[in-house]
């Protein structure tokens, strides 16, 4: 089912994202032993600014296909934020299963550094003015939301962390311990961009970005692209299937949710999973912030809500431990390419399943759970991948 | 009222330093973010109400902006049952924490238009 994949991540990439796309698509086609003419489906995603720093008016799936000389008979545009890449994999799988396409190329990526530049150099204020003029809207209530100064999305997840601590006593050190465990994995991963020794104290002594979240609990924006091909036919990769899946959308603005903000939509997506989580060999969990991983692990049902702090202390979540989580170090150590970290967790699952993780391979990685999370805890998709026998 | 009329009414309330919210006459649901229909039952029988403007902090976060100023963003649960996302203004940062009582305060946020902010009740 997975025929080929390739990625490229850099702290700052000077060229156009179209260069990165052309390179990674070419490599993924080579791995699959296919040519552009063999591709009949394209799935992508797009958000303002962070593709090439430009504002998209529409039809990104055409824009990208046009550049690559691909004529798809099936396209899809997935706007699930951080959950987009994982959702794309699932939709491509469904499209192939249903016969809508035979070989679907999924492309996710852009320049995370451009988003950072816009946000840090006055982009937020500029954006507010634009949005107040109703030129650009993300939400029907934008004029009642964007008027306030925040650090979206850090502010939202910081409020989740603050409330988790208030309700359950989760400590800064417990969140930091997760970052330390993921760094342990990254230090064995030759692809990780952020490495080196890291202690709980290093994390808790790092600069506060938005209380209670600190610098070393937050992903660093980078530039990068992942291309992967899902389709029929044989390949040099191990035969892969989606064993179980669940996805869910919580479209409400978070101030209007009936459920406490310490819950992620994973609490619903996992209800559709028909697989014993005790048999999962590696968990690849969306990790733009430490608190996301902690709340996702709770919502997956590994531990009841509120008890994750103790759980992190009592279990070893590294690649040598009893519950390997984010085996490549996650986005906290790979960085966050544009369209968020979904490509990091998804690609790590591809690598683990194919015994291609150099230095950080978990032995016998036959069943891997991937959890994507997007927006203000707005989208979740949970997949169990493995080999159907 | 249609949506644009509701938004205009909200702006007028803000400039009179009143905090509006909406109550559905059909199902009783109360909400803040303006709509021409109830998001629970789709009824158009909506009334714009005036909140007391008092509530408590549901969650909050503080950060330092590019000018070196501390900014606080919070979710405020009002006594009438709805939640508003807004900045919290204070001279005493230690007063801002989850469950602390707050009240609304209006401030001109763009030229000629006030918006609701919140401040702790000491």
Q: What is the DSSP string of A133-187?
A: TTSS-SSTTHHHHTTS---TTHHHHHHHHHHHHHHH---HHHHHHHHHHHHHHHH
Produce one character per residue of A119-157: b if its CB has 16 or more CB atoms within 10 Å, e if not.
beeebbeebbebbbeeeeeeeebbbbbbbbbbbbbbbbb
Dist. CA B27–CA B41, nearest whole Å: 7
The C-alpha of A252 sits at a distance from chain B's nearest C-alpha, in angstroms, of: 10
Write down the pLDDT at residue A113. Answer: 77
Write down the pLDDT at residue A126. Answer: 52
Q: Which of A132, A140, A255 sits opposite B75 (nearest CB)?
A: A255
Contacts of B98 in chain A (CB under 8 A): 162-163, 166
**Lateral strand order in the sheet of A282-285:** A241-249, A379-386, A368-374, A282-285
Average pLDDT on B49-71 reads 96
Contacts of A131 in chain B (CB under 8 A): none
Torsion of CA A153, A157, A162, A164, to 10 degrees: 160
Residues of chain A under the 70 pLDDT cut: 48-50, 53-57, 115-137
Dist. CA A381–CA A80, nearest whole Å: 9
Closest residue in B to A146 (Cα) is: B86
The C-alpha of A196 sits at a distance from chain B's nearest C-alpha, in angstroms, of: 27
Residue B38 has pLDDT above 90, yes or no: yes
Helix (H), strand (E) counts: chain A: 14, 11
Produce one character per residue of B95-112: b if its CB has 16 or more CB atoms within 10 Å, e if not.
bbebebebebbbeebeee
Hey, are the CB atoms on B59 and A141 less than 8 Å from each other?
Answer: no
Hey, are the CB atoms on B34 and A144 less than 8 Å from each other?
Answer: yes
Please choose, from the candidates A367, A347, A366, the residue with its C-alpha nearest in 3D space to the C-alpha of residue A357: A347
Radius of gyration of chain B (CA): 15
CB distance A300 to A161 below 8 Å = no
| Residue B119 φ then ψ, to 5° | -140, 150
User: Which of B9, B55, B61, B66 to mutate to probe the A interface, most A CBs <10 Å?
Assistant: B61
The C-alpha of A307 sits at a distance from chain B's nearest C-alpha, in angstroms, of: 19
Dmax over CA atoms of chain A, in Å, equals: 56
Q: What is the mean pLDDT of chain B?
A: 96
CB distance A352 to A231 below 8 Å = no
Closest residue in B to A212 (Cα) is: B61
Write down the pLDDT at residue A302. Answer: 97
Dist. CA A286–CA A344, nearest whole Å: 8
Q: Which residues contact B28 (CB under 8 A, 6 or more apart)?
A: none
Write down the pLDDT at residue A345. Answer: 96
CB distance A183 to A199 below 8 Å = no
Write down the pLDDT at residue A124. Answer: 45
Hey, are the CB atoms on B33 and A256 less than 8 Å from each other?
Answer: yes
CB distance A21 to A220 below 8 Å = no
Helix pair angle (A17-32, A60-68), 10° resolution:
70
Dist. CA B102–CA B59, nearest whole Å: 12
Closest residue in A to B114 (Cα) is: A147
* Tally of CA atoms within 13 A in the half-sphere of B32 that contains its CB: 27
According to DSSP, the residues that pair with B72 across neighbouring strands are: B62
* Tally of CA atoms within 13 A in the half-sphere of B66 that contains its CB: 12
Q: Chain A to chain B, count of Cβ pairs less than 8 Å apart?
A: 83
- B110 — pLDDT class (breaks 50, 70, 90): confident
- 3-class secondary-structure state, position A70: coil
Please choose, from the candidates A110, A115, A114, the residue with its C-alpha nearest in 3D space to the C-alpha of residue A85: A110
Tokens of A142: 């934008």
**Tokens 């109400």 -> residue:** B49
Helix pair angle (A154-168, A290-300), 10° resolution:
60
CB distance B16 to B42 below 8 Å = no
């Amino acid at each position: 089912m997975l025929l080929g994949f390739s990625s490229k991540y850099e702290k700052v990439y000077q060229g156009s994202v179209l260069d990165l796309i052309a390179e990674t698509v070419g490599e993924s086609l080579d791995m699959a032993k296919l040519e552009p003419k063999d591709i009949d489906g394209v799935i992508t995603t797009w958000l303002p600014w962070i593709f090439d720093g430009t504002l998209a008016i529409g039809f990104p799936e055409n824009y990208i296909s046009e550049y690559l000389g691909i004529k798809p008979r099936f396209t899809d545009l997935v706007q699930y934020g951080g959950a987009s890449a994982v959702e794309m994999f699932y939709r491509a799988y469904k499209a192939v299963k249903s016969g809508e396409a035979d070989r679907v190329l999924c492309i996710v990526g852009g320049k995370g550094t451009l988003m950072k530049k816009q946000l840090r150099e006055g982009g937020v204020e500029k954006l507010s003015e634009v949005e107040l003029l109703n030129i650009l809207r993300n939400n029907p209530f934008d004029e009642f939301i964007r008027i306030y100064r925040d650090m979206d999305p850090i502010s939202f997840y910081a409020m989740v962390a603050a409330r988790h601590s208030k309700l359950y006593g989760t400590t800064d050190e417990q969140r930091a311990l997760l970052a330390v465990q993921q760094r342990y994995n990254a230090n064995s991963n030759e692809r990780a961009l952020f490495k080196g020794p890291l202690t709980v104290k290093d994390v808790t002594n790092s600069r506060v970005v938005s209380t209670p979240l600190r610098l070393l609990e937050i992903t660093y924006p980078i530039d990068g692209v992942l291309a992967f091909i899902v389709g029929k036919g044989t390949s040099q990769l191990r035969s892969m299937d989606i064993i179980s899946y669940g996805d869910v959308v919580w479209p409400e603005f978070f101030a209007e949710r009936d459920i406490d903000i310490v819950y992620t939509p994973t609490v619903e997506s996992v209800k559709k999973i028909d697989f014993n989580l005790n048999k999962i060999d590696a968990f690849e969990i969306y990790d733009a912030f430490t608190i996301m991983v902690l709340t996702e692990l709770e919502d997956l049902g590994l531990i009841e809500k509120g008890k994750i702090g103790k759980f992190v202390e009592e279990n070893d979540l590294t690649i040598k431990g009893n519950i390997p989580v984010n085996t490549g170090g996650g986005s906290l150590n790979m960085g966050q390419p544009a369209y968020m970290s979904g490509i990091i967790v998804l690609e790590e699952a591809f690598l683990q399943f194919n015994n291609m993780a150099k230095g950080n391979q978990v032995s016998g990685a036959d069943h891997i759970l991937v959890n994507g999370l997007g927006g203000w805890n707005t989208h979740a998709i949970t997949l169990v991948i493995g080999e159907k026998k | 009222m249609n949506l644009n009329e509701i938004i205009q009414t909200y702006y007028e309330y803000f400039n009179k330093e009143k905090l509006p919210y909406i109550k559905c006459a059909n199902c009783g649901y109360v909400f803040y973010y303006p709509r021409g229909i109830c998001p629970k039952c789709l009824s158009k029988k909506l009334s714009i109400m005036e909140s007391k403007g008092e509530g408590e902090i549901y969650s909050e976060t503080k950060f330092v902006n590019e000018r070196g100023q501390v900014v606080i963003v919070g979710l405020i649960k009002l006594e009438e049952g709805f939640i508003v996302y807004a900045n919290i203004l204070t001279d005493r940062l230690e007063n801002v924490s989850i469950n602390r009582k707050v009240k609304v305060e209006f401030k001109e946020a763009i030229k000629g238009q006030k918006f609701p902010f919140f401040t702790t009740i000491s």
